């Protein structure tokens, strides 16, 4: 069935690149999974279960409390929105008790706030949560999402054979394109392949997806966050080089404002997601968030690095035990964002001095240096000079260097 579907599509479409014109910078929005999981018990958890009100409330807050103005746009539904069975025509349907108005009504509500709506499905026979998957139904599901006015589709990989991914994800991408409705396509293709020791074909992935998960699901902990950052630092298969306008590596949701991270650790995620040109999909209860976390999520200086139009993903360029140094070229040309990340638990900040040439800062006239979170000028430096940085334990120091 899958092969047949793919042959039909191949004869209709010959484009190799994903040409939906979307995600020219990393997508920004909200996704329920990390914070709200598959809580379907609305009787005992009426405010926290996966139901239409949750997404409406998040859309309200994103629109009214500065998130939208900061660039957050997508309100995304993850797993567990579906009914146990497809309808009589084989089409997907939401759980009738938890989404009684239906997805088109929810889409209309979210669009009415000037925002966009995303939804979740799975390449396999069932989603990770055990709901009906898209295998054997990809054309009808793509059309259903378009009919419902969906703007973004996250496509998971549970309950399927990873050897089918190269073909299957490509086919789903084409079915989405064939609907004529632009929908961001978020894939988990390389994540599942890497876990099974298969080298992902990042050229093919970039041709089919707007973003793609490379590694494990984020959990609400520093250990999980650091594990993902280190995986990106290793950059196995040089996957960082595939990021750019239209297609992004996805290190998973932003957990700023949840339970697990200290304030400094939250700054680490913001800074590193900016350096790594990562999608910014907040997974936090925006109804109950501390002001300092909200301010971090809306920090314009950090977000402007994240959203830099050149779209070059930053890399870890050196480690001066224990501090990792990461750089990202941003606009205007010749400018760099630089992060000093201190993963150590030591009780006092680590202070280190680096010759700026070692950071790749070689412009003869020197650079204006500005700390990013607070926008504080640190003066100027020239090649040959040292820059001295003090960085908190499990913390980060983020700055930009702009050529003079």
Q: Which residue is nearest to ligand GLA (CB)?
A: 128
Choice between 129 and 247, CB closer to ligand GLA = 129
128 is a site residue for ligand GLA (CB under 6 A): yes
User: In 96-164, where does DSSP find H-type helix?
Assistant: 103-112, 138-147
> Rounded to the nearest whole angstrom, what is the least distance from the CB of residue 213 to ligand GLA in the complex?
6
CB of 119 to ligand GLA, least distance (A): 11
Number of separate helices (H) and strands (E) present in the chain: 13, 16
* Of the candidate residues 94, 124, 129, 395, the single one contacting ligand GLA (CB under 6 A): 129
Sheet holding 323-330, edge to edge: 315-320, 323-330, 335-342, 395-403, 367-371, 377-381
For ligand GLA, give the closer residue by CB, 127 or 306: 127
Taking the least distance from each CB to ligand GLA, the nearer of 36 and 72 is 36
- φ, ψ of residue 281 to 5 degrees: the values are -110, 95
CB of 194 to ligand GLA, least distance (A): 13
Question: CA-CA distances (angstroms) from residue 223 to 37, 174, 240, 260?
Answer: 19, 37, 22, 10
Give the count of residues interacting with ligand GLA (CB under 6 A): 8
Closest CA to 28 of 283, 238, 228, 259: 283
CB of 33 to ligand GLA, least distance (A): 5
264 is catalytic: no
Q: Which is nearer to ligand GLA, 176 or 302 (CB)?
A: 176
Q: What are phi and psi of 287, to 5 degrees?
A: -75, -25
156 forms part of the interface with ligand GLA (CB under 6 A): yes
Angle at 262 between CA 260 and CA 264, to 5 degrees: 140
Q: How far is the CB of 225 from ligand GLA (least distance, A)?
A: 15
Q: What is d(CA 252, CA 270) in angstroms, rounded to the nearest whole number?
A: 12
Complex with ligand GLA: residue 227 or 322, whichever CB lies closer: 227
CB of 316 to ligand GLA, least distance (A): 24
The one catalytic residue in 48, 60, 166, 217 is: 217
Question: Mask: binding to ligand GLA, 245-264, rule CB under 6 A, as x and -?
Answer: --------------------
Task: Choose between 214 and 293: whose C-beta lies nearer to ligand GLA.
Answer: 214
Residue 297: asked if its preceding bond is cis (omega within 30°), the reply is: no
- Retrieve residue 23's tokens: 């995600």
Convert 47-59 to b/e letters by CB count within 10 Å (16 or more is b).
Answer: ebbbbbebbbebb
> Please, what is the minimum distance in Å from the beta carbon of residue 313 to ligand GLA?
21
Q: Please name which of 136, 134, 225 lies closest in space to residue 188, comparing C-alpha atoms.
A: 134
69 or 161: CB nearest ligand GLA: 161
β-bridge pairing 335-342 and 395-403:
antiparallel
* Pairing status of strand 350-355 against strand 152-156: unpaired
x/- mask, ligand GLA, residues 217-236, rule CB under 6 A, reads x-------------------
Site string for ligand GLA, 28-47 (x = CB under 6 A): -----x--------------
Cα separation, 336 vs 144, in Å, equals: 43
Residues 78-117 that bind ligand GLA (CB under 6 A): 78-79
Whether 217 is catalytic: yes
Residues 346-385, one symbol each (x = binds ligand GLA by CB under 6 A, - = not), give: ----------------------------------------
| Cβ pair 7, 18 in contact under 8 A | no
Q: Which residues bind ligand GLA (CB under 6 A)?
A: 33, 78-79, 128-129, 156, 188, 217
Active site residues: 156, 217
């Amino acid at each position: 069935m899958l092969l047949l579907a793919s042959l039909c599509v191949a004869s209709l479409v010959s484009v190799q690149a994903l040409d939906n014109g979307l995600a020219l910078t990393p997508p920004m929005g909200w996704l329920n999974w990390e914070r709200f999981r598959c809580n379907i018990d609305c009787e005992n958890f009426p405010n926290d279960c996966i139901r239409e009100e949750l997404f409406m409330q998040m859309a309200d807050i994103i629109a009214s409390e500065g998130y939208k103005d900061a660039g957050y746009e997508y309100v995304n539904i993850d797993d567990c929105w579906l009914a146990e069975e497809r309808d009589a025509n084989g089409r997907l349907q939401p759980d009738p008790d938890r989404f009684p108005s239906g997805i088109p009504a929810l889409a209309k509500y979210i669009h009415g706030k000037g925002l966009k709506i995303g939804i979740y499905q799975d390449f396999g026979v069932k989603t990770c949560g055990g709901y009906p998957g898209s295998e054997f139904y990809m054309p009808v599901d793509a059309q259903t999402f378009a009919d419902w006015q969906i703007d973004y589709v996250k496509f998971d990989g549970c309950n399927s054979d990873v050897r089918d991914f190269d073909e299957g994800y490509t086919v789903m991408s084409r079915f989405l394109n064939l609907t004529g409705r632009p929908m961001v396509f978020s894939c988990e293709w390389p994540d599942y392949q890497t876990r099974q020791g298969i080298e992902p074909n990042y050229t093919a992935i970039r041709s089919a997806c707007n973003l793609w998960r490379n590694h494990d699901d984020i959990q609400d902990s520093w250990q999980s966050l650091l594990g993902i950052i280190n995986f990106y630092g290793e950059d196995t298969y040089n996957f960082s080089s595939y990021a750019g306008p239209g297609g992004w590596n996805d290190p998973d949701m932003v957990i700023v404002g949840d339970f697990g991270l200290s304030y400094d650790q939250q700054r680490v995620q913001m800074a590193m997601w900016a350096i790594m040109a990562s999608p910014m999909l907040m997974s936090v209860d925006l109804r109950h968030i501390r002001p300092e976390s909200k301010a971090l999520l809306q920090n314009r200086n950090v977000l402007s690095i994240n959203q830099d139009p050149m779209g070059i993903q930053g890399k870890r360029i050196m480690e001066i035990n224990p501090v990792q140094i990461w750089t990202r070229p941003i606009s205007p040309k010749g400018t760099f964002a630089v992060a000093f990340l201190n993963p150590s638990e030591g009780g006092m900040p680590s202070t280190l001095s680096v010759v700026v040439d070692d950071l790749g800062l070689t412009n003869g006239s020197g650079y204006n240096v500005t700390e990013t979170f607070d926008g504080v000028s640190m003066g100027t430096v020239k090649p040959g000079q040292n820059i001295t940085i003090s960085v908190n334990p499990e913390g980060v120091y983020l700055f930009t260097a702009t050529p003079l």
